[in-house]
Amino acid sequence: MNVPTPDSLGPSHVAPPVEDPMDRTRFPIDPWRLVETRFSGDDLGTTESLFTVGNGYLGLRGNYEESRDAYHDGTYINGFHETWAINHAEEAYGFARVGQTIVNAPDPKVIRLYVDDEPLHLSVADLLEYERSLDLREGVLTRDLIWRTPAGKNVRVRSRRMVPLGQRHLCVITFEVTLLDQPASVALSSQLLNRQDVWHEFGDQSAGRGVAEGGDPRKAETFQRRVLVPDFDHADPQTGRLCLAYRTAESRMSIGVVADHHLSSRVPFSSKVESEDDMAKVIYRVAAEPGVPITLTKTVAFHTAQSVPPRELLDRCERTLDRTHEEGLEQQFADQRAWLDTFWSRSDVEVHGQPALQQAIRWNLFSILQASARAESQGIAAKGVSGSGYGGHYFWDTEVYVMPFLTYTMPWAARNALRFRYTLLDSARRRARELAQKGALFPWRTINGQEASAYYAAGTAQYHIDADIAYALSQYVGATGDDDFLHREAIDILVETARLWADLGFWRDESRRTFHIHGVTGPDEYTTVVNDNLYTNVLARFNLRRAARAVDELAVDDPEAYAQLVRRTGLAEGEAAEWADCARAMAIPYEEHLGIHPQDMHFLEREMWDLEHTPLEKRPLLLHYHPLVIYRFQVLKQADVVLALFLQGEEFTPEQKKADFDYYDPITTGDSTLSAVVQSIIAAEVGYHDLALRYFLSALFVDLDDRHSNTADGVHVASTGGVWSALACGFGGFRDIGSAQGGSQWKIDPRLPTSWDALVYRITLQGTRVRVTVRADQLELCIEEGSGPLTFDVRGKSITLAADQDDGRICVPLTHQGPRLKGEPPHPAGTQRSDGTVISAIVPSGE
Amino acid sequence: MNVPTPDSLGPSHVAPPVEDPMDRTRFPIDPWRLVETRFSGDDLGTTESLFTVGNGYLGLRGNYEESRDAYHDGTYINGFHETWAINHAEEAYGFARVGQTIVNAPDPKVIRLYVDDEPLHLSVADLLEYERSLDLREGVLTRDLIWRTPAGKNVRVRSRRMVPLGQRHLCVITFEVTLLDQPASVALSSQLLNRQDVWHEFGDQSAGRGVAEGGDPRKAETFQRRVLVPDFDHADPQTGRLCLAYRTAESRMSIGVVADHHLSSRVPFSSKVESEDDMAKVIYRVAAEPGVPITLTKTVAFHTAQSVPPRELLDRCERTLDRTHEEGLEQQFADQRAWLDTFWSRSDVEVHGQPALQQAIRWNLFSILQASARAESQGIAAKGVSGSGYGGHYFWDTEVYVMPFLTYTMPWAARNALRFRYTLLDSARRRARELAQKGALFPWRTINGQEASAYYAAGTAQYHIDADIAYALSQYVGATGDDDFLHREAIDILVETARLWADLGFWRDESRRTFHIHGVTGPDEYTTVVNDNLYTNVLARFNLRRAARAVDELAVDDPEAYAQLVRRTGLAEGEAAEWADCARAMAIPYEEHLGIHPQDMHFLEREMWDLEHTPLEKRPLLLHYHPLVIYRFQVLKQADVVLALFLQGEEFTPEQKKADFDYYDPITTGDSTLSAVVQSIIAAEVGYHDLALRYFLSALFVDLDDRHSNTADGVHVASTGGVWSALACGFGGFRDIGSAQGGSQWKIDPRLPTSWDALVYRITLQGTRVRVTVRADQLELCIEEGSGPLTFDVRGKSITLAADQDDGRICVPLTHQGPRLKGEPPHPAGTQRSDGTVISAIVPSGE
């Protein structure tokens, strides 16, 4: 499962993935569960990420309770981080100063089992049965096994683990041991374990700072010093209640963890407790009899804060646990099921006739949920709460890849994510000042609001994050009609981002014919610090227009709110008009002869990289070539122009979309997991149906098939979000044109793959939930909740859906699934430029 | 002296420097000495650099023997360095891995004086007389003072310090104390002191790695760990011989230091010795009588090596000292004088009628000498051996700024410097491979041959260092006729650098019309990673041509040597022809309407920075703006196109030179000290005489007037070299056209400033030394050594000079000193571009 396959790197030049790449003898198909039927020590990191349970605040990796076989025992709390001074090897003004790294919180998962003093240790145990499953409707991770001990006694061990989605701070674990044939002495050692400080001496050269493992910038930094400074520990011998409390050494955050235990058995047992700085535990000894289950219930509460004393957090934990105790354990499981029933009714996507894909799709959607449900006042990290990859940072991934799912299926979560950005606005204003700009510049990567990107060329230079946030905001407001949020708070984001663009760009001529934005990096990180990046300029144009429109509308609609806006932001007379003017004149690179949009003003002057003949062992390029080499070439890490074609589709003609896709697709490596979903959507739109499906499968199995060999560091949350977009927008053909621009105008132009019987997805617009069913010959729209009316453009025909008409259900016959192109995009090497010269390609080597 | 003046930053927009900015009440004019007549604790760092004595191998900063009043007690040995792993805040493939930092060697300067147990401590002492002088003909630093002790006794203290130029490893110090009126107990404590390990705890976040002070990338890194690991220490009670030996912790270099002492006095004295890990000392107690001098002579030897046991180095030190002892002390001083007599006879430059400038010029020339004389198998560091700035690294500065002086006045030193580069060739080949290139890529900054530049955009990306080395090499061979060196070794450098260019650049069209070099940084570091940087392409073209010519000539002239070359380098059939073709088609950016050469292909698309209205507190820009901001603008750190106009002057018309200078000069900040000398030379050539003189003065006093506020970190050696070029080539009008291209063709077209009576400089060409005297109405050429014949083009007229004709002396009447332009270059803001639009300028601010 974790063996890199030749096509794990994504581009169309390499062998297509099989439709179902998973080993079904180990991971059988199940529509509502991810199931593993055989223990393997070979891909522990991957399965830990896949079997994570979390709620967007608290996440427990899928480590085994015995915690002996593990790639990385991880427990993460969104936003709970340590800071460190970034030491640049060579300093310069304005470089990011404060490193931020998510902290591995004290581990509540540990329950060690001893039978006749022999420990259960999976990798060496004689397992007669084994099943682990993550139930996507129950929201529970279950493991069920029969262990034949060295003494030949058979023992059933069954555990359940849940992080409730209906609340933030809790996790529940049950651990049940049943001797099947002979009596034995059973011991259970349940722990809270601060693993984060089990650090090693790696030599002095990196002491104290965060160092990414193996120099791979995609991994989290590790510390070679104590991060969690003990504040309090206690273990109550009467109740088995364990408490640990800490402060982080530098960021001065506090954390409290309390675990309650309840052992239930018909046979006698004894217990004792221990606690010290980095561990608290309770140990039960039971004289177990065959057929008599021993059930340990462990409920654990976590509270974290920036400025609350750790011991006060322990009080909060105890209140959480006391309440849970009053409600009873089974109520927690019932609540979880109810919560998920609601979730699936709003968010499920069905693919009929494709059970393997169905399972993978649901796992992807469930992963978005686990990353976002209770993120609340925090952002949504690149790995959610499933791993420490990218240090627990928030990126533009949230806005462009995760927000569409949230906006259209769980808008309250979208609102939280946007309000989180709103709380960063002051830091973003300060950051803009450091970069000598007006307005606000959001950090490229951050936890606490400060820029943490230590490589500005592929970090701070990605100014487009400002427009991405404005875009997601506009999409949310348009889809929900939440004008109140827009007018009271979010409009400030529009104003400050528009200001940044107007100040960052410049008029090269006094007649103000074109407005240029220089020295920025677009989404594609294989060229950096370029002039007039197409994506950036197109999104900045949107940002400027949207801000101008919002301000103008507010002035008319709500003069009082407008006056407050002016007071808050110092908005000047004529500012909005200036933004509109910048937008009007925005430089949009276009090459007449090729009929394509250069990725930046000088992109086509670059040499062409011959991806086809680049050996696989040189992929991904970023790990095998110096940036200076990569930057010289026409070669893409991820979709850039093609992403703009999706997000601002109305700004391009179908011919341009095809030409751009044809040009860029063959030179896109897909070295970023953000790429395949976008390539899938535009491939579907322009008519490359097979390719669209291939990219979709690539994204769908990014983690389930560990296609980038780093799922061990956590789930690729942006890709899981992109999977939804690829389904709803790519194959499902949904486009929210209006809300992106600041109105309400929706199109549906589906592209059902021929191998699928039907595709069903749900979209909630302005409070009305519509179920969209795409079949080869028919599109069905059906109101599932709310009343409408909603009007859709279905291939040029306007369809109005209302609950009080035809039971809120309309069927539209389909005669085709969009254009259908033969073959694949031609490689640009060999084609002619406008100057008549022919494009050739090389592989840089030095040999 | 170290107060930054408004014009300390150099560009023409700010007030011109006064002709003589030095405080002459403290530093009186003296044609052959730098003299200080008053102690000041305010600018210790600057005067320590100015009063450095060194020989290119060993350097002692001008610290006082008492070592109580010091900015930085520094003792440097060229190439003696520690290494450390560079921790990039965000890693990427091919980033520099091994940091290298010159080590502060054990300090031999310390001699502490106590009179009646009261220490001499200059900043609080009652000094009745004080003079410190560096004699540029004697090569000796002398200090002479009368101290009135707290008890009211007057004591004359006189010390001399010398680092012999005739050998590498020695320094000599004499310290003489004479009571002038009353008897007293005198104690002298002479030490060897390892200061480098007197380190402090700066918190753990930077432990062990090199961190540049205050984040200023121009400063050396300091270590927060032990660097010199003690190997041996000893103090001989009989002879006063002190020994210390160490290894560096990471680079595993070894150093041995031995000091001999001799106390001479007519009164009785006693002595005792001590030694420990980081110090060895001998203490003399003398019952001193008035009028009876006490003279302590301290001779110290240093030896360093990469792989020799430290104790073996102590043996070498003892041999050095034994030999010195046999020769006698006064012989050392006599040798030094004789050595310098020869030096000045070959290298002196005289400016008649300008005594203040004459003194400053000689100090500058002496500083080049001190940085280079015995560098031998090492490079010539940016600060020579006068300070730790830039970590003791070697840069392109050597080839472009220092080598001309060496080549034309002390060619054996030039040869050493080139052979040093030759020894780096294998590392440079490996580095090219890391950058996916053929050939060799010399490190942008290094001590041990490995790239140490941690910021590639203004480091590794400066590929032009390859061409700079090829240029200096060609200049040396042409000026000296040292074909043997070329054919046996140096030609390999030409081959491998030409290979790099041919591989780095590319043909955009199959018809091979133009050859482009993308993604490089030119000398100007205020734009980076650009396409077709003019300087780079022009010098690369030279490099390609020169290599092709050398290879072709060798094939004809010496088939056997050619065969060896082919064996050494794998030179293939047709390679040289390919280089010539690349050179022929090299892209040279040119803008027709403005008639200028854009600094890079897209330079003119950048916004214009309004330097005139940029507040002085925002200078230098690099310390006040994020690189992303600076890079977006037309604003220069240093001459770039203008440097190409100098080095490859024959490739440009006079009109182009004027147009380019006019365009770039007003947008050049001069934030680099490498800029003013070049601006001076081209200003003189095109006819801005006053401006040329202003830039020259700016460079002449860079250190003497601490104009960049960092002379404390060491002498700006490149600028001292540039001062010579500005004299010989700028005002003196000398151009070596032939040797740069691979032949012998010399021009003289002088530009004598009106305020100078005469300018006299010496040039050694092919073994013949010519004295050139420029007067307002006459140019005199006179052979001082050798026989000639040498032919010069003097303003179009061919002049042949030979020892056997007219006593080797020719006078050419001059009717003018070149073109004379009025005013100053106009600021480009306000001028029109080719598209008819007008250039405007702004100051980025964010407010």
At residue B303, φ and ψ (nearest 5 deg) are -130, 140
Mark yes or no for CB contact B95/A626 under 8 Å: yes
pLDDT at residue B220 in the model: 60
Instruction: State pLDDT tens for residues A764-790.
Output: 999 999 999 999 999 999 999 999 899
Instruction: State pLDDT tens for residues B504-533.
Output: 999 987 788 999 999 999 999 999 999 999
Give the confidence band of B215 by pLDDT, cuts at 50, 70, 90: low
Instruction: State pLDDT tens for residues A682-714.
Output: 999 999 999 999 999 999 999 999 999 999 999
pLDDT at residue A210 in the model: 45
% of chain A beyond a pLDDT of 70: 94
Q: Please tell me which residue of chain B has the smallest CA distance to A226.
A: B204
**Alpha helix (H) ranges present in B99-245?**
none
Residue B586 has what DSSP assignment? B
Catalytic residue (one of A82, A221, A451, A525): A525
B525 catalytic, yes or no? yes
In this structure, are residues A708 and A8 in contact, taking their beta carbons and an 8 Å threshold? yes
Residues of B in contact with A96 (CB under 8 A): 89
Which residues are within 8 A (CB) of B358 and not within 5 positions of it... i.e. 6 or more apart? Answer: B31, B350, B351
DSSP string, B357-423: HHHHHHHHHHHHHHHHTTTTTS---TTTTS--GGGG-B-THIIIIIHHHHHHH-HHHHHHHHHHHHH
Question: Would you say residue B548 has pLDDT above 90?
Answer: yes
Give the distance from CA A554 to its chain's centroid.
Answer: 33
CA distance B443 to chain A (A): 15
Q: Which two tokens stand for residue B493?
A: 């450098």
In this structure, are residues B57 and B78 in contact, taking their beta carbons and an 8 Å threshold? yes
pLDDT at residue A509 in the model: 79
Mark yes or no for CB contact B606/A225 under 8 Å: no
> How far apart, in Å, are the Cα atoms of B327 and each of B165, B322, B333, B496?
16, 9, 11, 47
Of A63, A77, A375, the C-alpha closest to A228 is A77
Give the distance from CA A496 to its chain's centroid.
Answer: 26
Q: What is the mean pLDDT of residues B338-363?
A: 97
Instruction: State pLDDT tens for residues A727-762.
Output: 999 999 999 988 766 667 899 999 999 999 999 999
- Residue B439: CB atoms within 10 A of its CB come to 22
The strand pair at A841-842 and A607-609 is best described as: parallel
Question: Which of A204, A437, A461 has its CB closest to that of B208?
Answer: A204
Mark yes or no for CB contact A837/B453 under 8 Å: no
Helix (H, G, I), strand (E, B) or coil at B306: coil
The strand pair at A126-135 and A118-119 is best described as: unpaired
Question: Would you say residue A590 has pLDDT above 70?
Answer: yes
Measured between alpha carbons, how far is B160 from B140 in angstroms, rounded to an integer? 7
User: In chain A, what's the furthest Cα-to-Cα distance?
Assistant: 92
Give the confidence band of A200 by pLDDT, cuts at 50, 70, 90: very low
Cis preceding-peptide flag for B16 (omega within 30 of 0)? no
Which residue's structure tokens are 């069954």?
A158
Question: Which of B436, B602, B629 has its CB closest to that of A435?
Answer: B629
pLDDT at residue B742 in the model: 67
Which residue's structure tokens are 């579907």?
A684
Mark yes or no for CB contact B217/A509 under 8 Å: no
Measured between alpha carbons, how far is A614 from A592 in angstroms, rounded to an integer? 30
Range of lowest pLDDT (A72-76, A675-679, A831-835, B432-436): A831-835
pLDDT at residue B826 in the model: 87
Which residue's structure tokens are 């930094």?
A221
A433-463 as b/e: b if 16+ CB within 10 A: bbbbbbbbbbbbbbbbbbbbbbbbbbbbbbb
Q: What is the mean pLDDT of residues A529-537?
A: 98
Instruction: State pLDDT tens for residues A6-15.
Output: 333 333 333 3
Q: Where are the beta strands (DSSP E) in B194-326?
A: 211-212, 221-222, 228-235, 242-248, 254-265, 269-276, 279-288, 294-305
Mark yes or no for CB contact A208/B211 under 8 Å: no
Q: How many CB pairs (< 8 A) connect A and B?
A: 219
A34-67 as b/e: b if 16+ CB within 10 A: bbbeebbeebbbbbbbbbbbbbbbbbbbbbbbbb
**Alpha helix (H) ranges present in A91-201?**
none
Helix (H, G, I), strand (E, B) or coil at A519: coil
Report which secondary-structure segment, H or E, holds A759. strand A758-765
Question: Would you say residue B210 has pLDDT above 60?
Answer: no
Which residues are within 8 A (CB) of B821 and not within 5 positions of it... i.e. 6 or more apart? Answer: B658, B686, B687, B688
pLDDT at residue A829 in the model: 80
Question: Would you say residue B99 has pLDDT above 80?
Answer: yes
Mark yes or no for CB contact B622/A92 under 8 Å: yes
DSSP string, B529-571: SBSS-HHHHHHHHHHHHHHHHHHHHHHHH-HHHHHHHHHHH-P
Q: Which two tokens stand for residue A271?
A: 């217990």
Measured between alpha carbons, how far is A496 from A439 in angstroms, rounded to an integer? 4
SS3 content of chain B, % helix, strand, coil (to 5): 35, 25, 40
CA distance B181 to chain A (A): 57
Helix (H, G, I), strand (E, B) or coil at A659: helix
Which residues are within 8 A (CB) of A140 and not within 5 positions of it... i.e. 6 or more apart? Answer: A53, A134, A160, A161, A162, A333, A336
Q: Which two tokens stand for residue B97?
A: 């891995």
pLDDT at residue B218 in the model: 60
Q: Which of A84, A86, A93 to mutate to test the interface with B (most CBs of B within 10 A)?
A: A93
In this structure, are residues B84 and B746 in contact, taking their beta carbons and an 8 Å threshold? no
Give the confidence band of B744 by pLDDT, cuts at 50, 70, 90: confident
B425 Ramachandran zone, left/alpha/beta (phi>0; psi -120 to 50): alpha
Give the confidence band of B741 by pLDDT, cuts at 50, 70, 90: low
Give the confidence band of B195 by pLDDT, cuts at 50, 70, 90: confident
pLDDT at residue A8 in the model: 34
Q: Please tell me which residue of chain B has the smallest CA distance to A624.
A: B93
Measured between alpha carbons, how far is B709 from B696 in angstroms, rounded to an integer? 18
Give the confidence band of B833 by pLDDT, cuts at 50, 70, 90: low
Mark yes or no for CB contact A435/B212 under 8 Å: no
Q: Which two tokens stand for residue B520?
A: 């490089």
CA distance B630 to chain A (A): 10
Instruction: State pLDDT tens for residues B563-600.
Output: 999 999 999 999 999 999 999 999 999 999 999 999 99
Pick the more confident residue, A634 or B11: A634
Instruction: State pLDDT tens for residues A112-126.
Output: 999 999 999 999 999
Of A788, A782, A748, the C-alpha closest to A768 is A788
Catalytic residue (one of B496, B525, B575, B685): B525
At residue A361, φ and ψ (nearest 5 deg) are -60, -45
- Residue A275: CB atoms within 10 A of its CB come to 18
pLDDT at residue B44 in the model: 96
Report which secondary-structure segment, H or E, holds A345. helix A329-347
In this structure, are residues B453 and B96 in contact, taking their beta carbons and an 8 Å threshold? yes
In this structure, are residues B253 and B304 in contact, taking their beta carbons and an 8 Å threshold? yes
Question: Would you say residue A207 has pLDDT above 70?
Answer: no
Residue A588 has what DSSP assignment? -
In this structure, are residues B247 and B308 in contact, taking their beta carbons and an 8 Å threshold? no
Mark yes or no for CB contact A91/B215 under 8 Å: yes
Question: Would you say residue B695 has pLDDT above 90?
Answer: yes
Give the distance from CA A515 to its chain's centroid.
Answer: 34
Helix (H, G, I), strand (E, B) or coil at B250: coil
Give the distance from CA B439 to its chain's centroid.
Answer: 28
Q: What is the mean pLDDT of residues A662-671?
A: 94
Strand order from edge to edge, sheet including B242-248: B33-36, B126-135, B140-148, B154-162, B170-179, B294-305, B254-265, B242-248, B228-235
Q: Please tell me which residue of chain A has the smallest CA distance to B91.
A: A215
Residue B437 burial class via C-beta count within 10 angstroms: exposed 0-12, middle 13-18, buried 19 and up: buried
Strand order from edge to edge, sheet including A118-119: A118-119, A111-115, A184-193, A279-288, A269-276
Report which secondary-structure segment, H or E, holds A459. none
Give the distance from CA B43 to its chain's centroid.
Answer: 21
Mark yes or no for CB contact A529/B628 under 8 Å: yes
Question: Would you say residue A205 has pLDDT above 70?
Answer: no
DSSP string, B684-751: HHHT-HHHHHHHHHHHHTTTTTTTTS-GGG---HHHHHHHHHIIIIIIS-EEEHHHHHTS--EEE---
Q: Which two tokens stand for residue B522?
A: 């030119």
Cis preceding-peptide flag for B4 (omega within 30 of 0)? no
pLDDT at residue A512 in the model: 86
pLDDT at residue B206 in the model: 37
Give the confidence band of B200 by pLDDT, cuts at 50, 70, 90: very low
Q: Which two tokens stand for residue B305?
A: 């090596």
CA distance A212 to chain B (A): 8
Instruction: State pLDDT tens for residues B1-58.
Output: 333 333 333 333 333 445 789 999 999 999 999 999 999 999 999 999 999 999 999 9
**Alpha helix (H) ranges present in A388-463?**
397, 403-409, 411-423, 425-434
Q: What is the mean pLDDT of residues A299-316?
A: 96
Residue A698 burial class via C-beta count within 10 angstroms: exposed 0-12, middle 13-18, buried 19 and up: buried
A441 Ramachandran zone, left/alpha/beta (phi>0; psi -120 to 50): beta
Q: Which of A626, A834, A835 to mutate to test the interface with B (most CBs of B within 10 A)?
A: A626
Residues of A in contact with B208 (CB under 8 A): 203-207
